[in-house]
Amino acid sequence: MKTILIIIAHGSRNEGSNTEVRELCGRLAEVAATDHVMPAFLELAEPSLSATVDGAVNAGAERILVLPYFLNSGRHVTRDVPALVSTARLEHPGTSIDLLPHIGGTDVFFSAMESIVRRQGRQED
């Protein structure tokens, strides 16, 4: 089953920030247990989630995982991204599209933060 991971970020007027997301996708593609990793943006940058899902389906994706690249569960995480995923499911009924938890809401993110904080504390001793 061809699986594609889509990282959806907010998008920025600062193109450097959008480039960081695209580069992150490239780095994740090297380690992800998926066939491909693609970026998408909620606003202020392209491609949109809809366009990225269309591209993934056209590339033969049978399963799409959507990972919100957000720290907090604000409006984008609780309403906007789920609504876009629901629309994508309706537009592509033959493709499994799963919405993953946002980055900031995972234990793995907390563990990474904890590691950074502990390491920083040791450097100051």
What's phi and psi for 103, nearest 5 deg? -50, -50
Is 102 part of the annotated catalytic residue set? no
Q: Which of 10, 36, 76, 102 is catalytic?
A: 10
Strand-pair category, 36-41 with 63-68? unpaired
Tokens in use for 90? 């309706």
Cα–Cα distance measured from residue 59 to residue 32, given in angstroms and rounded to the nearest whole number: 17
Which residues form the catalytic set? Answer: 10
